[in-house]
Amino acid sequence: MEQKDQISQTSVGEIPKVGSESIKTADLKSTKITAGVQEVHSQEIFSEFREHSVAEFFKKNRQMLGFSGKVRSLTTLVHEYVTNSLDACEEAKILPNIYVKIDNLPNGHIRLYVEDNGPGIPKQFIGRALGQMLAGTKFHRFVQQRGQQGIGATGGTMYAQITTGKPIHCRSSTGDNIIYECDVAVDLKTNSPKISNMVEYTGKYRGLTIIGEFGEVKYDKSEYSAFEYLKATALANPHAQITIVDPEGERTVFQRAHEEVPERPKPAQPHPLGVTTDDLINYAHHSKERKLSSFLTSNFARVSDSKVEELKKLCPSINFDKMPRELKWEEAEAIVRAFKQIKWIAPSADPLRPIGKEQIEKALKNVLQPEFVSVSERSPKVFRGGVPFLVEVGIAYKGKAGRQKSDGTVGLDVKRFANRAPLLFDAGGCATMEAVKTIDWGRYGLKDIENMPVTLFMNLVSVHVPYTSAGKQAISNEEEIVEEFRYAIMEVARDLDRYLSGKIRDEQREARKKAIMRYVKQISSDLPYLAGEKTSEELEKKLLHIIESKYSKMFDKGRLTADEEKQIKKEIEEDIEE
């Protein structure tokens, strides 16, 4: 109690000096409290200090690469190899042909065979491409691709090692009639490749083949399976032909629906909006430009000489003629604040390669045969880091749209993609689902959307996709990305609302027409009788003509406004009265 009172009387701002009496007193009290317990010296604690390679880290945390659960692990392997194949083919301007074969082995393992017709890997790069983490052609480039970190393929090699003790086997040729085959493993201690059994021979082959034996994996046809992954890949990549042969020998071919390779994306420059202070300092200190002004115009999109002049007015204390590497943190902060005060042209769409409204609509109609389709493609925007992006959203209603539930009913199905690559897992933490949850579906007449036969197609197109993990299955909840998805969803939801409202009005008009038609014969016989006439045939013909002509006018005009429909009803009543 005495010790507690003494501590409470000490001011927070009073920090005792080293060697002061107060520290000595505290040490004495601490010694009393821990009497009988021998202290451990820091040298002994730090005797366990070690350095570890990134490969060792991912071996211990393999779930971060998507290797958690048998079905998901196999889907992750297929995902990594197929996305690499698609990226390579598109960069080489080759229409992709991808062949995937999965075999169950007697020991409970699975053999995975993936072959493409891409440009292949040159001999000197095979080891690093397939057996070294964070090595590849993508991480350092500001260009749109499916892969990003240079981890995926090596992650597959690592997973084969830690579940079966075996390397992966690869065959590669760049189309020069020389074929290389070898086994590749990863030295986990040093994160370096180990190549063995290298052979070289001549033959007609171009592309890359990966053959691996994997444990702790399982093949099935659930919604998270490798089959569903390839089916979704074909949906978002109509220019690719993908074949899968399952362990039962069943062969499925997802035929190519488009005969053109998407244009090769152009390298992008960061947009000033979204650039952070750290980004600006990093770019400036690595720049070879002689002036800060020329550094800004040459390293950022949409920065012209006139924009630099605006920056000078907003930051009068900064010398824009000095070397970029001399830029200080406080000055960088001021420039970033000034960026937000200037009106910028939207980022160019040149670095982005969206699927396109026409292709998404064609793919949805081809796969789902829906009753209604609408697609929205938003204009490019930027998020943190000045990274340009755009979103594409499609909605399909009825036909084969929707997700089959366990009780046999059909409900909302959200298909998520990033740069055309399907995202099957971790939906709960994804920006796409965050956007879906924020929509007030009741405003669009879709209150029961969870139980409607609707498929929502959502694709993020970006130079850099901010994944939540190295497994690349969920997009980070960046505010700008969530907002753009929200706007796109609202656009297609409005279109579906208009369609359903019009459909209901059509059904109501048709019902009214049928109701009137039921009384035509009775009226045409009763009126002549009351008027003392003998025949009713002529009157029946006239009544039928009035009803048919006016109601066909309704349908010929398509969707009518309330005033137009009211006017036509009035004309019908006047004609009948006449």
Over residues 81-98, the pLDDT tens digits come to 998 899 889 888 999 999
Over residues 462-513, the pLDDT tens digits come to 888 888 876 778 899 989 999 999 999 999 999 999 898 877 676 666 666 6
Choose among 251, 212, 254: nearest CA to 74: 212
Higher pLDDT, residue 7 or 243: 243
| pLDDT computed for residue 94 by the predictor | 92
Choose among 571, 554, 443, 453: nearest CA to 508: 554
Options 3.30.230.10, 3.30.540.10, 3.40.50.2300, 3.90.79.10; CATH of 357-499: 3.30.230.10
- CA–CA distance, 96 with 465 (Å, rounded to integer): 23
Reported confidence tier of residue 352, pLDDT bands at 50, 70, 90? confident
For residues 427-441, give the mean pLDDT: 92
| pLDDT computed for residue 53 by the predictor | 76
Range 56-254: architecture per CATH: 2-Layer Sandwich (3.30)
| pLDDT computed for residue 420 by the predictor | 87
CB 444 within 8 A of CB 434: no
| pLDDT computed for residue 113 by the predictor | 97
| pLDDT computed for residue 567 by the predictor | 66
Quick one: tokens of 78?
């297929």
In sequence order, the 6+-apart residues with CB closer than 8 A to the CB of 573 are: none
pLDDT at residue 122 is higher than 80: yes
Choose among 218, 282, 188: nearest CA to 67: 218
Over residues 192-226, the pLDDT tens digits come to 899 999 999 998 899 999 999 999 999 998 888 99
Reported confidence tier of residue 451, pLDDT bands at 50, 70, 90? very high
Do the first three CATH levels of 56-254 and 357-499 match, i.e. the same topology? no
Domain ranges in the chain are 2-35, 56-254, 277-339, 357-499
CB count in 10 Å sphere of residue 247 = 14
Q: Which helix (H) or strand (E) is 339 found in, with range?
A: helix 329-339
How far is CA 567 from its chain centroid?
A: 49
| pLDDT computed for residue 473 by the predictor | 83
Mean pLDDT score of the chain, rounded to an integer? 82
From 291-305, 324-338, 494-508, the region with the lowest mean pLDDT: 494-508
- CA–CA distance, 88 with 206 (Å, rounded to integer): 12
Higher pLDDT, residue 125 or 47: 125
- CA–CA distance, 572 with 78 (Å, rounded to integer): 64
For residues 250-258, give the mean pLDDT: 88
From 222-236, 250-264, 389-403, the region with the lowest mean pLDDT: 250-264
For residues 254-272, give the mean pLDDT: 79
Higher pLDDT, residue 370 or 29: 370
From 69-73, 263-267, 319-323, the region with the lowest mean pLDDT: 263-267
On the CB side of 291, how many CA atoms lie within 13 Å of its CA?
Answer: 9
CB count in 10 Å sphere of residue 432 = 27
At residue 140, what are phi and psi to the nearest 5 degrees? -90, -5
- CATH entry 1.10.8 includes domain 277-339: yes
Reported confidence tier of residue 137, pLDDT bands at 50, 70, 90? low
